Structure 1
Amino acid sequence: MNKKEYDKLEFSLSLLHPKYWSIWLGFGLLALIVNLLPYRLLLSLGHKLGLLGMRFGKSRVHVATRNIELAFPDKPEKEIRELVRENFKNTGMAVIEMGITWFWPTWRFKTLLVDKNTEALRKHDKDGKGVLLCCVHALNLEITARAFAVLGQPGYGVYRPHNNAVYNFIQIWGRTHNGNTLVDRKDVKQMIRILRKGARLFYLPDHDYGRNKSVFVPFFAIEDACTTTGTSILAYTSKCAIVTGSGFKNADGKYEIIANTSIEEDYPQKDEKAAAAYMNKYVEEIILRAPEQWMWLHKRYKTMEDESVERGIRYK
């Protein structure tokens, strides 16, 4: 698939090759399970999957534990262990949430949503201003993206194609058939055009994407966390609004959709390092709404500012 925007999907008979049957079967089973079982049972199933993954994924347990130790050095060991456990339960639930997002009908999907505050998005929509909607790698990110579309605020998601053709086909369909569109993560010019024409672009500035187009600024307790400069590049070149957003699950199992803070007025767009540090403060605020639901399994602090220091040394 060579399109830079993934809004229309074309089926090919090659996708029915026997080598792909296990993928079709797997997603078919997932669609069946999420549509037949009640949500509370799905929630329990997701948590059990996560605990099973925790049992067999010791290397990821180590990464999550180490990330939390680095981010919160004063947190007691008991609290860290409990946070890691809850994080894995939510990681298992992410598989179920993917199925819910891609395969539930809209009427049922809406029953999980709480439009807690999306006024900032609605204001910019009325003004015709493009919005860089900065979210984080929450484990329920699939839910959040569809939720904005269902609530009347669809946008463009930055997308990396999957190597498996059938997985890629289903993934694109799942993410686009409810109002959202995907744009290739390498197509920065198209992202700028999207923002300039007054649309919304979902953007995730919270991971360590490597040294290219990054600076080293504070993120939680680490003073030199590798942080993307993509936010400032997109904001400066498109003159868009910047809104922070999230969709974390509350104690009742509902997803609270928030996009209520515009930060573009004080955002130091021309200073990449100051801009990244400024953005990280808001990213921290978002994560702290529900830290057990953020992707701690990713090596957030793997890239070192000193190039002579081994990458990932903090996880040894």
Structure 2
Amino acid sequence: MSRSTYPRSFAHPRFWFTWMAIAGMHIAAWLPWRLNIALGSGIGRLAWRFAKRRRHITDVNIALCFPEKSPDEQRRLVKQTFIANGIGLMETAVAWCRSPEDFRHRVACIGEENLARAQAQGKGVLIIGVHFSPLDLGGALHSLFFHSDAVYRPHNNPLFDRFMTRARLRVFDQMIHRHDLRSVIRRLKAGHSVWYSPDQDFGRDASVFAPFFGQQAATVRLTAKIARMTGAQVVPLIFYRNPDDRTYTYEWLPALEGYPSNDEVVDATRVNAFIEQAIRQHPEQYLWLHRRFKTRPEGEPGLY
């Protein structure tokens, strides 16, 4: 449903379910941690059983990217992915409705000096993130250590978008629409850091094909373009939930050297290699529910 089809007043009955969802997120954010994890796991299991379209997409992605796994191992990873993303919904509620300070004790950091060193150069830093299930919680907790902006995709539901954007603006300096390249460039040239996740399929016109888990994947050109236009350092960031389901880890890797090059495919391959490396650490936490390979090279049939 597009924004133009929604009524103007948030009191309209069409928004009542949205208001209930927002209230539910506020309640969930204050539940005991173990209960939150259990509820998220339950949501994930229900989605695994009943969200057949998303399960099909995940089945295809896992089979393509992990051919070395047996069919039983692939099925387990698919189920684990749904559970991890169910937990991610509860983590999002926490991120949007509570203070990051409440969870400082749950975070361990590796490589802070890499981002600090890049920021010290004063040319801006493009922080490359990955769509792991605790992504929004990662953004909130990141504000405990470094200031940054974030690139985002607005939600079609204007009420939910307002709730989401206001929550994110509590922890990010600015939220930048994913199509607002001018603002990204302006902020980087002013020396700011911008969190940006280039690991989704944005279509043929915006992409080049580069290897990702052994597959040719449509990979956005924009990462290298932004770095070239601004001189910004590009720092990869990994944020994941630890196996105890109670703590989290940040890993800021060293800024990419010699990036960008004069070859778009080489640049896209380097970014994909980092993203693949991050995913292989905790493959169940990645957003495999997304049609990562929906755009195919000319002449190849669709995969989904």
TM-score, length of structure 2 as denominator length:
0.92
Is contact 2:139–2:171 with CA below 8 Å preserved after alignment?
no
Looking at structure 1, the residues matched to 262 and 140 of structure 2 have their Cα atoms a distance apart, in angstroms, of: 32
Output the amino acid matched with 1:102: W
Identity of aligned residues (%): 32
SS of 1:261 mapped into structure 2: coil
- 1:31-69 CA-partner distances (Å, limit 9, x unpaired): 11221x211111111011100111101221121111111
Is contact 1:131–1:195 with CA below 8 Å preserved after alignment?
yes
Q: 1:295 aligns with which of 281, 287, 292?
A: 287
Looking at structure 2, the residues matched to 59 and 192 of structure 1 have their Cα atoms a distance apart, in angstroms, of: 37
Output the amino acid matched with 2:259: Y
1:178: Cα distance to partner? 2.3
Give the structure 1 partner of residue 207 of structure 2. 214
Q: 2:251 aligns with which of 258, 269, 285?
A: 258
- 1:225-275 CA-partner distances (Å, limit 9, x unpaired): 111111111011111101000210002221101113211x23243211111
Output the amino acid matched with 2:238: S
Is contact 1:143–1:247 with CA below 8 Å preserved after alignment?
no
1:218: Cα distance to partner? 0.8
Looking at structure 2, the residues matched to 251 and 28 of structure 1 have their Cα atoms a distance apart, in angstroms, of: 29
Q: 1:274 aligns with which of 254, 261, 266?
A: 266
SS of 1:144 mapped into structure 2: helix
- 1:73-110 CA-partner distances (Å, limit 9, x unpaired): 22111211111111000111121011000112233132
Is contact 1:236–1:270 with CA below 8 Å preserved after alignment?
no
SS of 1:246 mapped into structure 2: strand
Q: 2:19 aligns with which of 21, 24, 39?
A: 24
Give the structure 2 partner of residue 56 of structure 1. 50
Looking at structure 1, the residues matched to 100 and 62 of structure 2 have their Cα atoms a distance apart, in angstroms, of: 36
Q: 1:73 aligns with which of 67, 83, 86?
A: 67
Is contact 2:118–2:255 with CA below 8 Å preserved after alignment?
no
Output the amino acid matched with 2:110: K
SS of 2:195 mapped into structure 1: strand
Is contact 1:72–1:221 with CA below 8 Å preserved after alignment?
no
Shift in alpha-carbon separation, 1:168–1:268, aligned structure 2, 3 A: closer
Is contact 1:219–1:281 with CA below 8 Å preserved after alignment?
yes
Runs of 4 or more, structure 1, over 4 Å off, are none
Looking at structure 2, the residues matched to 17 and 212 of structure 1 have their Cα atoms a distance apart, in angstroms, of: 38
The correspondence of residues 1-20 of structure 1 with structure 2, limited to 5 A, is 14-20=9-15
Looking at structure 1, the residues matched to 184 and 177 of structure 2 have their Cα atoms a distance apart, in angstroms, of: 9
The correspondence of residues 141-290 of structure 1 with structure 2, limited to 5 A, is 141-151=135-145, 153-222=146-215, 224-252=216-244, 253-263=246-256, 265-290=257-282
Is contact 2:101–2:144 with CA below 8 Å preserved after alignment?
no
Q: Root-mean-square deviation (CA), in Å?
A: 1.6
Output the amino acid matched with 1:28: A
Is contact 2:228–2:260 with CA below 8 Å preserved after alignment?
no
Shift in alpha-carbon separation, 1:210–1:231, aligned structure 2, 3 A: same
Is contact 1:196–1:238 with CA below 8 Å preserved after alignment?
yes
Give the structure 1 partner of residue 4 of structure 2. none
The correspondence of residues 106-121 of structure 1 with structure 2, limited to 5 A, is 106-121=100-115
Q: 1:85 aligns with which of 75, 79, 86?
A: 79
TM-score, length of structure 1 as denominator length:
0.89
